[in-house]
């Protein structure tokens, strides 16, 4: 599990008053990883899995719950996924220089 200190911890979070599940914090508010490409079951091929894992963000758990209360985004085409991953690889190479 990837629970860590919430990036947006606040007293209005529905998890704030729950027992802490993250070491070193007193509130129950926590953050975890949200895959912007969901649901997982829709991403089956190697390309699709790579794309899904490259499009993740660390957000507040309450925000994560909210994201999943809406319909999943439309799955992009394989061509779009290849272009996205290619651009991401190019950025990584440029940052390493």
pLDDT tens by residue, the chain, 97 residues? 578 888 888 888 888 888 877 766 677 888 899 999 999 999 999 999 999 999 999 999 999 999 999 999 999 999 999 999 999 988 866 665 5
What is the three-class DSSP state of 96?
Answer: helix
For helices 78-96 and 46-54, the axis angle rounded to 10 degrees is 50
Q: What is the pTM of this model?
A: 0.76
- Structurally, the chain folds into a number of domains equal to 1
Do residues 62 and 8 touch, judged by C-beta distance below 8 A?
no
pLDDT of residue 35: 95
Structure tokens at 56: 């993740």
Closest CA to 73 of 94, 47, 45, 42: 42
Domain extent for 38: 4-96
The contacts of residue 16 (CB under 8 Å, 6+ apart) are 9, 10, 27, 28, 29
Give the position of tokens 């319909």: 71
Closest CA to 32 of 73, 63, 68, 4: 4
């Amino acid at each position: 599990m990837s629970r860590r200190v919430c990036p947006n911890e606040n007293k209005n979070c529905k998890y704030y008053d729950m027992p802490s599940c993250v070491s070193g914090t007193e509130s129950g508010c926590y953050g975890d990883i949200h895959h912007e490409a969901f649901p997982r079951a829709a991403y089956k091929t190697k390309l699709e899995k790579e794309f899904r894992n490259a499009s993740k963000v660390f957000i507040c758990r309450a925000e994560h719950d909210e994201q999943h209360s809406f319909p999943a985004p439309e799955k992009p085409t394989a061509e779009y996924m290849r272009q996205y991953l290619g651009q991401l690889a190019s950025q990584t190479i440029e940052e390493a220089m």
